[in-house]
Chains A and B, each alone.
Chain A
Amino acid sequence: MELAHPETVLLDDPARVAEIAGAVPDPELRVVTIGELGIVRGAELAEDGRVTVTITPTYSGCPAMDAIRDDIRSALAAAGHPDVEVKTVLSPAWSTDMITESGWAALERTGIAAPGASGTPACPRCAHGGQPVTPVLQISRYASTPCQSLWSCRSCLEPFNAIKKL
């Protein structure tokens, strides 16, 4: 009996290719995937089987982009697609609104706050459902990656990163 090779299944489903690409963890924020961050825009399959994955940068100078391209190629190579082109597009420009709900949840679990509607994030340690919001202080408008700023909680005194609103 001849079993269908898994790659023949992948080849005719761009959504599945995008899903594999989107499952790649962000090289700098390993707790979220690039799909959850809104970096993967989609995938296309040409008639000759060539795969094109389209991504968009969070910040134009984000140094993780090269690693992201490599990781997408490796992930798809492991799934049976050695010939993958990763295309970068700028429009529409990435914004924090493109981060998915599960992305925000994963970020918050690891102590990285959302920017907050008013531009002030809530302390990820102290702010849980129903708890009163503790006052926070911005320590630095920039932090360890281009997409974050650094804050500290006036209640628990712990510093934390927040995603900058973009």
Chain B
Amino acid sequence: MSELLALGDDALIAAQRLSEWVSRAPTLEEDVALANIALDQLGAARLLLSTAGDEDELAYLRDGPQFRNCLLAELPLGPARGDLDFAWTMAWLLLLSSAQLLRYTDLAASDDELAAGIGAKTVKESTYHLDHAHQWTLRLGGGTDESHRRVQEALDSLWPYAHELTEGIRDRWLALVEPILAEAGLTRPADRWQPEGGRTGRHTEHLGYLLAEMQSLHRAHPGAQW
């Protein structure tokens, strides 16, 4: 498995997930923010996928088992499929963007010139994403009882999926995320089960729905252009 393909799939699937918020975020500013983060993720995905082949073919013509994204990226952004929960989304973005920041930092230091260039570009963008998730985690964790409850529940539910997300960078990732949780007055969830399979193409049922929406136009009209 190519690491660049896996990172590219993480970014592509995360972009599609985040774009579900467009026109539905709690405030106009946050709508713009989530759309911009989705756009950055899509930009990173295009760069990373282009190293592995034709970006359109990879994005639009592969089926679920051929995708190498981690399971966290494809999970719904709320407690159940079809739900959109803002606190849930910020907890998800905190876990994801912190891991992406570390992966891209490693990429920037790689010997491969192309990979290093992509890493140097995307590391700046993920720093901004993590900062955004960080600020919201503080506000939600230290906000109302309801906001605290929602972000804590999301963390508890998503935490197991961070095992696959942070394979090989676990200690550095914990060093990044644990202080943010402490600062926000949130409880760092206990390590329990460790669902995995995304990196080898064994996905949750959620990926199929996501791909059906993302790929429908291209499959109905191959080669369609704006």
Chain A contact residues, CB within 8 Å of chain B? 57, 59-63, 89-95, 139-144, 146, 150, 164, 166
Contact = CB atoms under 8 A, between A and B. Distances in A.
A60 B33 contact: no
Best-buried of B29, B36, B113 by chain A (most CB within 10 Å):
B36
Interface string B30-44: 101101110111111
B116 A91 contact: yes
A60 B46 contact: yes
B120 interface: yes
Contacts of B41: 61
Given A91-B120, A166-B124, A141 B43 contact: no
The 4 lowest CB-CB distance pairs between A and B, nearest first, are A61-B43, A60-B43, A140-B29, A90-B117
A38 to B, nearest CB: 14
Contacts, number: 66
A102 B212 CA distance: 48
B33 A141 contact: yes
B55 interface: no
Contact of B40 (A91, A92, A143, A146): A146
Nearest to A143: B32
B125 interface: yes
Nearest to B43: A61
Contacts of A166: 124
A146 B39 contact: yes
A36 B113 CA distance: 27
Given A61-B41, A140-B32, 4 more contacts: A61-B42, A90-B120, A93-B121, A141-B132
Interface in B117-133: 117-118, 120-122, 124-125, 128, 131-132
A89 B120 CA distance: 12
A142 B29 contact: yes
B47 interface: yes
A95 B127 CA distance: 14
B33 A61 contact: no
B121 A60 contact: yes
Nearest to B30: A140
Determine the main DSSP class of B at the interface with A. helix
A154 B41 CA distance: 34
A15 B14 CA distance: 41
Contacts of B43: 57, 59-62
Nearest to B38: A61
Nearest to A89: B117
A93 B127 CA distance: 14
Best-buried of A60, A63, A146 by chain B (most CB within 10 Å):
A60
B120 A60 contact: no
Nearest to A61: B43
A58 B203 CA distance: 34
A143 B118 CA distance: 24
Nearest to A164: B128
Contacts of A164: 128
B40 A61 contact: yes
A53 to B, nearest CB: 18
A57 B47 CA distance: 11
A93 B30 CA distance: 27
A91 B113 contact: yes
Contacts of A60: 40, 43-44, 46-47, 121-122, 125
A22 B1 CA distance: 41
A61 B44 contact: yes
A61 B129 CA distance: 14
Contacts of A62: 39, 43
